Amino acid sequence: MQILRLIFKKQLYHYLFLAILLAISILAANLTGAYEGYLWNHSTRFWLWLSIGIVIAHQFYVWLVWRLELHLKFFTRKLGKAAFPLWSIFFMIFLACRFLFVFFVGYSNRGTLNIFPFIGWIISAAILILAAYTGYSILRYFSIRRALGIDHFDPTYRSMDMVRKGIYKYVPNAMYVFALALVWVPALIFYSKAALISAFFNHAYIWVHYYTVELPDMRIIYGNR
């Protein structure tokens, strides 16, 4: 029972906030008429909810793998050194799909958001610059392996200090603030209501993951550093 409590720690909050975000997204889609358009013979409604489903599947995948590995070493016991590379491959596929399917939503629903074009492009350019600096900081100071959660798999990483260089000097959780902000770009360049809803869910739900999965895990792994 103790192991189950650790694996499901904070998950009631996770489910509660997931339900709230889904309710907001459904309400926003219905009230704004965000289902206009088609792509490859599939409606915007299809692409919108597929994009949201991918986000949910991705974050449940992260929760399950991280918690089973952190508390039971489940995957390294079963797969040995292949555990982290296999985890990383599927993680990156999910991550790529998060961005790709928001793009599909935006293209399917293009032209439905009434904003001045230059505003969307200016905001998109700012997001791209900050995301690029975040990517540089990850590669230069943080490392892809740590970004992918190697500390859940390899205890030798748990003695490392928190990164406070590059963009992390100014924003400790820059990956979630700026890198994930890329999901807003399709909504802004295609002027799409549906992509705006998808981006909202995408970006808001990553913070649910942070507070109900990553932060509790970090406190176990790193203590109060």
The pTM score is 0.95
User: Is-contact 200 105, C-beta < 8 A?
Assistant: no
Structure tokens at 93: 């596929």
Q: How many domains does the chain have?
A: 1
Q: Read off the pLDDT of residues 54-75 as tens digits, 9 standing for 90 and up.
A: 999 999 999 999 999 999 999 9
Share the mean pLDDT of the chain: 95
The count of residues in the chain is: 225
Structural domain for 74, as ranges? 2-222
Contacts within 8 Å (CB) and 24+ apart, 77-84: 83/153, 84/145, 84/148, 84/150, 84/153, 84/154
Q: Read off the pLDDT of residues 122-162 as tens digits, 9 standing for 90 and up.
A: 999 999 999 999 999 999 998 999 999 999 999 988 888 88
Q: Read off the pLDDT of residues 76-103 as tens digits, 9 standing for 90 and up.
A: 999 999 999 999 999 999 999 999 999 9
